Amino acid sequence: MRYKFFILLISIALPVILIAGNATPDGYNADVTDVQINPQEVNPGEYPTIKGYVHNTSLSNSPDGGASTMDIVVVIDYPDGGYYSGVWNDISFTDGQTKSFVKSNNYDINQIGIYTVTYKAYNINRDHLFDSRSSTFEVVQPDYSPDNPNFITTNLPDLYPTKSYTVEVEYTDKNGGNDLKNVYLRLAINDNINDNPLTLMWGLNDTPRQWNGETQALENISATKSSITNGYKVTWHFTFNWNWQDNPETDMWAWAADENDNESDQIKENTSAGYENDIAIYSSNENKDPITEGDTYTVTGQVRFEGYDEEPQDWTGISVEMRKGSASGDIISTDVLESSSYSVS
C-alpha cells in the first residue's frame, strides 16, 4: 500500500512597519539633508548666508498620512566655547516635502576662529531628535593695511653736519604690531618727498639703515621701539655728515608696511628746518694792522656754520689756513681745529 503525504505550507501575511533612522514609533521622521554656508570665510562683523534643508520622511501610514509638524533648531557654537540657539516652532510639512531655513543675522560674529552651525529636526514636543547635520565657517582677522603713522616729534631744529638728531614716530596696525614688517622715516626738501631724499628703514628686529641709491648723508643710525596699542613707538637716532646739499626747508615723511607688503599712506610732518653744511669764519681779530717787515702777524677768531651761530660737534677734517695775497695764494699757516677757535700766524 502506498501512502501519499502532502505538506501544506501556509503563510500568513503580517503587517510590517519599517522604521528608518530616528523615526518615532508611529512613523514620523525627517532628515536634515544639507547645511549651506556662503561664504565660509568672513571678516568680523560680516555675516555669511546660512541655510539648512529639512526633508520630511515620515511614513505614509503615519497618523497624519505622511504629513508632519516639527520644530527645527539651529545651534551656532562660537570659537570661545559659547553658543547661540534658535528655533522655528511648529513647522508643518506635507508628505515628502523639503523646506529650507535661513538663519537671521542676530548672533555674535566678532570672534576670530571656527564657528560650527548645526541644524536639528525634532518632533514638536522636542523630546525626539529625528536628524541633525553640521557645517562650519571661519571668521578671520582681515588683512588691514598699517595705520597712518603719528609723529610725536613735530618740529626739527635747523640741521647741521656732525650733529645728532632724534625723531619719534608711532607706527600701528589694526592686525597688531606683529603684523608690521618695516617702518620708514624720510627727510626730503622743497615740500617734495622725492626731492633729494634720505630714507631710513627698519625691520623692527634688524639694524636700521639708509636706502641705497640716495646721497649717503646719514651716519650713526639706530632705532629703538616701545610697545603701544597695536604697534610701536619708534625712536630714530641719526647724525648728518657733510654730503647732503644746503637747503632752506627740510620736511619729514613716515609710513609703514605689513607682512603682506600693504603700506600705509606716506604722512608728512612740516618742519621747515634748514640744512647748512658750509663752514665760515665767524669772527676775526688781528694782532697788528698795519704790519711791517719782521712783525709776527697773527689772526685769531671763531668758526661757525655759515650764517648761523652754530658750530660742529666734530671738528675732524676742519682747518683754517692763512694764505699769501689771496685765497689761491701760497699757504703761510694752517690751524687744524679741535674747537671753534682758530689762530694762524
Q: What is the pLDDT of residue 12?
A: 37
> Could you tell me if 234 and 169 are in contact, meaning their C-beta atoms sit under 8 angstroms apart?
yes
Among residues 71, 207, 204, the alpha carbon closest in space to that of 131 is found at 71
pLDDT tens column, 80-130: 999 999 999 999 999 999 999 999 999 999 999 999 999 999 999 999 999
pLDDT at residue 187, as a whole number? 97
The whole-model pTM stands at 0.68
Specify the amino acid at residue 20.
A
Of the CA atoms within 13 Å of residue 204, those in its CB half-sphere come to: 22
Binned at pLDDT 50, 70 and 90, residue 308 comes out as confident
At 253, give phi and psi (nearest 5°). -130, 145
Tell me how far apart the alpha carbons of residues 108 and 77 are, in angstroms, rounded to a whole number.
Answer: 10
Ranked by mean pLDDT, the top range of 39-43, 61-65, 320-324 is 39-43
Alpha-carbon span 210 to 291, nearest angstrom: 53
Mean pLDDT of the chain: 90
Share of the chain above pLDDT 90, in %: 71
Amino acid 287: pLDDT: 87
- Greatest CA separation for the chain: 180
Tens digit of each residue's pLDDT (9 = 90 or more) over 245-297: 999 999 999 999 999 999 999 999 999 899 999 988 888 898 888 888 778 88
Residue 101 CB coordination number (10 Å): 19
**Following CA atoms 316, 317, 318, 320 in sequence, which dihedral angle do they give, to the nearest 10 degrees?**
130
Question: Averaged over 158-164, what is the pLDDT?
Answer: 95
Taking residues 215-228, report their average pLDDT.
Answer: 97
Q: List, in sequence order, every residue forming a beta bridge with 304; answer none if it has no partner.
A: 280
